[in-house]
Amino acid sequence: MHFEFSTASRVIFSPGAMAGIGKIAAKFGKTALIVTGKNPDRADGLLRIFQAQNIRTQVFSVDGEPSIADIQMGIARARAARCDLVVGFGGGSALDSAKSIAALTTNPGDIFNYLEVIGAGKPLTFPPLTCIAIPTTAGTGAEVTRNAVLASSEHKVKVSIRGEYILPRIALVDPELTNNLPADVTASSGMDAITQLVEPFVSTMANPLTDALCREGLHRAARSLEIAYRQGDDPSARVDMCVASLLGGMALANAKLGAVHGFAGVLGGMYFAPHGAICARLLNEVMEANIQALSNRMPESAALIRYTEIARIVTGNPEAVASDVISWMRKLGAAMRIPGLREYGIQPENFKEIIEKAKKASSMKGNPIELQEQELYDILNKSMMAIY
């Protein structure tokens, strides 16, 4: 057995933790680039806290999932303002943008030097600017992942910058920031969190540390996601989902993912489709395909036993079998009205291209069994229709 484990240098988790961010940030810098999502007004409270600490701020907003051009503009802003601190405040897109900008501001040369797949994939060699990640959704776990995902419209693909220097210095998780998120955002981000607990748990690179994280996260998400969806201000449910998201981020950073993310990276690059929404619709079909394939071709696989454990965790039934997770997940998806992939413009005539690209994705290497062409086609086909 061999494994390593990396995460943010410091993780702060507490309802109300946001109130202390000013004093924490002041230890690391005096000029901060605040990276937000498409609504920068949500960061007004953060700006007031920084102002009280005499920290100068520049606000940089990213509208949607970050593109290479977005990051290049952010780097230019950070350098021009001589920022010594980058703060990501928002969902996964804002956090990945902040992580990328913090790392690439100090590492010279073209951004393509460091991009996987479409670039040279060179390692980052210089320490980043101090990066503080403050999530306002519960799903991606990007506050503790050592990669940042960027979209290339030219190549119609999403790619990563990866390495230890991508990890934030501080991850501050305040569940109160997720109160009263729109129900659809709670659903898609929450299903993303579940995906990032399921896939590392059954992946080819699972290890004892990530196993523990996944088990705890699945217990919390199973009991609280639908509550958070229906009652956006339920404090216990919001805490549970923020814990689940955090643990999923730690798990995926130290194990591999699987076919859901293998498809999601491709679909997110080809279509204007939110990552969480894609994962939400694909998860059930990928699990069903994996369980069937493992039962037929690898019946002694440890992953099949792990799917049984997942089923018992989420259903609360100690006698559950692996396939029970499918009916449980389908019921949850129907309750949260998870839409089909067709809603994002995906059509069957595109399946061949999607599958060819997905087969090359790094996440596919973590899937517990190599899925055959027809199995991949069936996953996409079943995912076209809404669950409800």
Using a pLDDT cut of 70, give the percent of the chain over it: 100
Strands (E), the chain: 10-13, 31-36, 56-61, 85-90, 130-135, 147-152, 157-162, 170-173
Across 133-143, average pLDDT: 97
pLDDT at residue 65 tops 90: no
Instruction: Name the nearest CA neighbour of 136 among 17, 274, 234.
Output: 17
pTM: 0.96
Q: Out of 83-92, 148-157, 173-182, 358-367, which region has the weakest mean confidence (pLDDT)?
A: 148-157
With beta carbons less than 8 A apart as the criterion, state whether 236 and 224 touch. yes
Across 161-188, average pLDDT: 96
pLDDT at residue 1 tops 90: no
Tokens of 289: 């395909």
Residues paired with 67 in a beta bridge: 151
pLDDT category of residue 154 using cuts at 50, 70 and 90: confident
pLDDT at 10: 97
Tokens of 65: 């999932």
Q: In what order do the strands lie in the sheet with 31-36?
A: 10-13, 170-173, 130-135, 85-90, 31-36, 56-61
With beta carbons less than 8 A apart as the criterion, state whether 110 and 82 touch. no
pLDDT at residue 179 tops 90: yes
CA distance 199 to 261: 9
pLDDT category of residue 296 using cuts at 50, 70 and 90: very high
pLDDT category of residue 324 using cuts at 50, 70 and 90: very high
pLDDT at 155: 84
pLDDT category of residue 32 using cuts at 50, 70 and 90: very high
User: Higher pLDDT residue, 340 or 156?
Assistant: 340
With beta carbons less than 8 A apart as the criterion, state whether 259 and 363 touch. yes
pLDDT category of residue 153 using cuts at 50, 70 and 90: confident
384: left (phi over 0), alpha (psi -120 to 50) or beta: alpha
Q: Is 139 helix (H, G, I), strand (E, B) or coil?
A: coil
What are the residues whose beta carbons fall under 8 Å from the beta carbon of 347, sequence distance 6 or more? none
pLDDT at residue 133 tops 90: yes
pLDDT category of residue 36 using cuts at 50, 70 and 90: very high
Burial class from Cβ neighbours inside 10 Å (0-12, 13-18, 19+) for residue 125 reads exposed
- CA 328 vs CA 35, 78, 115, 223, 241: distances in Å: 37, 46, 38, 12, 18
Instruction: Name the nearest CA neighbour of 170 among 268, 30, 23.
Output: 23
Which DSSP string corresponds to 311-358? HHHHH--TT--TTHHHHHHHHHHHHTTPPPGGGGT--GGGHHHHHHHH
Instruction: Name the nearest CA neighbour of 62 among 31, 79, 40.
Output: 40
pLDDT at 218: 98
pLDDT at 196: 98
pLDDT at residue 377 tops 90: yes
Report the chain's mean pLDDT, rounded to a whole number.
96
- Residue-wise burial string across 137-156, b where 16 or more C-beta atoms lie within 10 A, e elsewhere: bbbbbbbbbbbbbbbbeeee
pLDDT at 5: 94
Tokens of 213: 């994280």
pLDDT category of residue 46 using cuts at 50, 70 and 90: very high
CA angle 297, 279, 122 (to 5 degrees): 90
pLDDT at residue 18 tops 90: yes
User: Higher pLDDT residue, 21 or 63?
Assistant: 21
Across 120-135, average pLDDT: 96
Q: What are phi and psi of 352, to 5 degrees?
A: -60, -45
Q: Tell me the Cα Rg of the chain.
A: 20
pLDDT at 388: 84
pLDDT category of residue 2 using cuts at 50, 70 and 90: confident
pLDDT at residue 156 tops 90: no
pLDDT at 178: 96
- CA 330 vs CA 83, 126, 191, 335: distances in Å: 47, 46, 12, 9
Domains, the chain, ordered by start? 10-178 (3.40.50.1970), 183-383 (1.20.1090.10)
Which DSSP string corresponds to 207-228? -HHHHHHHHHHHHHHHHHHHHH
135 secondary structure, DSSP code = E
**Alpha-helical runs (H) found in 82-162:** 92-106
pLDDT at residue 72 tops 90: yes
pLDDT at residue 84 tops 90: yes
